[in-house]
Amino acid sequence: MQTVIGPDLVLLLPRLRRYALSLTRSSTEADDLVQTACVKALAGASGWTPGTRFDAWVFRVMRNAWIDGLRRRKVAGVVTEVEAVDGEVHESGEQRAMAKLTLDDVRRAIDALPTDQREVVLLVCVEEMSYREVAEVLDVPIGTVMSRLARARRRLAEATDAA
């Protein structure tokens, strides 16, 4: 019997893109990662067990695809488009000081977190996954999820002067 996951995958696309953005920090790379994850999920649909959380399974497929991509880039080296570097805008210290506790500040604080902490914050706080589900997606013990989340929350509080 073949598992049909296409309709559920379509409904999950906005959440997948949000997670991909948190991993890649690039809109273009996030779109590529979502596409790769969807292709892998569709090709490996038999790997999902009906009755378990479909979203957690797809998030894990995406994370594994991202890690595979990182490993490939590490071997191949990083390529940066000149146009992308020329178009970057850097924020001044004065602008940062003027914009306390705004949504933009929180987004920047989350973006500044180490990847392992940023992933946990997104999966627990935004995707509302349980610690156990996050542990399964990231393939780490629940205690690791809890400690990463505690460190991330402490850093976010310090970065937004909410401590």
Q: What does the pLDDT look like over 126-161, one tens digit per residue?
A: 888 999 999 999 999 999 999 999 999 999 888 877
pLDDT number for residue 75: 75
Which residues make up the CATH 1.10.1740.10 domain(s) of the chain?
Answer: 1-88
Residue 85 has pLDDT above 90, yes or no: no
> With the CA atoms of 140, 4, 8 and 37 taken in that order, what torsion angle do they form, in degrees rounded to the nearest 10?
50
- Rg (C-alpha) for the chain, rounded Å, is 18
Q: Which of 13-22, 37-46, 95-104 has the lowest mean pLDDT?
A: 95-104
**pLDDT at 105 exceeding the cut of 70:** yes
| Tokens linked to 3 | 């598992």
Single-letter amino acid code for the residue at 13: L
| Paired residues of 50 in beta bridges | 52
What architecture is the 92-163 domain classified under in CATH?
Orthogonal Bundle (1.10)
Q: What is the mean pLDDT of residues 91-109?
A: 61
| Matching CATH number, 1-88, of 1.10.3720.10, 1.10.1840.10, 1.10.1740.10, 1.10.10.10 | 1.10.1740.10
Question: Among 77, 62, 72, which residue's Cα sits nearest to residue 31?
Answer: 62
Q: How far apart are CA 55 and CA 156, in angstroms?
A: 26
**Does residue 118 register a pLDDT over 80?**
yes
Q: Which residues pair with 52 in a beta bridge?
A: 50
Using pLDDT thresholds of 50, 70 and 90, give the confidence band for residue 96. Answer: very low
Residue 140: how many other CB atoms lie within 10 Å: 16
At residue 50, what are phi and psi to the nearest 5 degrees?
-55, 140
Locate CATH 1.10.10.10 in the chain: 92-163
Instruction: Tell me the pLDDT band of 76, cut-offs 50, 70 and 90.
Output: low
Length of the chain equals 163
Is 80 exceeded by the pLDDT of residue 67?
yes
pLDDT the model gives residue 81 = 54
